[in-house]
Amino acid sequence: MADLPVLRIAPSILAADFAKLGEEIRAVEEAGADWIHIDVMDGHFVPNLTIGPAVVKALRPHTSLPFDVHLMIAPVDPLIEAFADAGADTISVHPEAGPHLHRTLQTIRALGKRAGVVLNPATPVDEVDHVLGMVDLILVMTVNPGFGGQKFITSQLDKIRTLRQRIDQHIAGGGGPIDLEVDGGVDPTTTPLATGAGADALVAGTAVFRGGPDAYAENIRALRSAAEAS
Ligand code: DX5
Ligand code: ZN
């Protein structure tokens, strides 16, 4: 039997207690998280406003886990260096957030960071076809970006399946590894759908942070065991 792919769980701090983000990050690390997903929103590209590089920098000493930074800001290019300097490990951008995706990915990689592309529910898979050699992660949105706690959009499962095939072909052809991450409405019910379609990393806000710190380990364990069921 083939080994199961390693599943990374990335709690989205959008659902954490913003009055104690440092403690919250330490608590999810202790509870078994793999990455910390940080949703950056500008009130313009998406209809919500969250945090900037100063907060990312302040959080950096609180964990050794990689920071998976999801930029929902436009134009995105002028702020990439600030997030890199603040301690981001992966920086993911939406193709719609700038005029030249290829150049944006070059910028992220030139800063020594992992580069990600995020596909909104209506954004076609083809957007990444010609940049596969420059990305470390593809993030499929299973909600429209802007808010936590929304319902998982199942029409995105086809997109995840298609990307799984393209990534596997890319790797078989000698290309580097690419993580396939899913973001939005991920919980123990939707997890097997996402992982069954080929996702190997899951962002979860509500499903990890519900119930407070005493529940985080069990919440993460529930996601992992739901994935094994697929
Ligand atoms: C939405 C964000 C998500 C969000 C997920 O724009 O990109 O990361 O926090 O939240 P849940 O898991 O609650 O759907
Ligand atoms: Zn996100």
Q: What is the pLDDT of residues 69-122, one digit of tens each?
A: 999 999 999 999 999 999 999 999 999 999 999 999 999 999 999 999 999 999
Q: Which ligand is nearest to the CA of 41?
A: 1
Q: How many Å separate Cα 43 from the centre of its chain?
A: 19
Classify residue 215: in a domain, yes or no.
yes
Which pLDDT does position 5 carry in this prediction? 64
- CATH code at position 179: 3.20.20.70
pLDDT digits (tens, 9 = 90+) for 6-21: 899 999 999 999 999 9
Look up the domain containing 152 and give its range: 8-228
Which residue, among 203, 180, 150, 230, has the nearest Cα to 33 in the 3D structure?
203
Classify residue 89: in a domain, yes or no.
yes
Is residue 50 classed as helix, strand or coil in its secondary structure? coil
DSSP state of 97: G
pLDDT digits (tens, 9 = 90+) for 140-151: 999 999 999 999
Classify residue 2: in a domain, yes or no.
no
Classify residue 3: in a domain, yes or no.
no
- Tokens 């998976």 belong to 68
- Tokens 């929304």 belong to 150
Q: Is the pLDDT of residue 4 over 50?
A: yes
H/E element, 137: strand 137-141
Classify residue 180: in a domain, yes or no.
yes
* C-beta atoms surrounding 185 within 10 Å: 24
Q: What is the mean pLDDT of the chain?
A: 97
Helices (H), 88-212: 101-110, 157-172, 191-196, 206-209
Alpha-carbon distance of 140 to 27, in angstroms, equals 26
Atom of ligand 1 nearest to the CA of 37: 8
Q: Is the pLDDT of residue 45 over 60?
A: yes
Determine the residue of 71, 93, 147 to mutate for testing ligand 1's pocket, defined as the one with the most ligand atoms within 8 A of the Cβ atom. Answer: 147
Classify residue 156: in a domain, yes or no.
yes
Interval 187-195 mean pLDDT: 98
Classify residue 175: in a domain, yes or no.
yes
Q: pTM of the predicted model, to two decimals? A: 0.97
Q: Is the pLDDT of residue 1 over 50?
A: no
* Structural domains in the chain (count): 1
Classify residue 25: in a domain, yes or no.
yes
Interval 164-182 mean pLDDT: 98
pLDDT digits (tens, 9 = 90+) for 162-172: 999 999 999 99
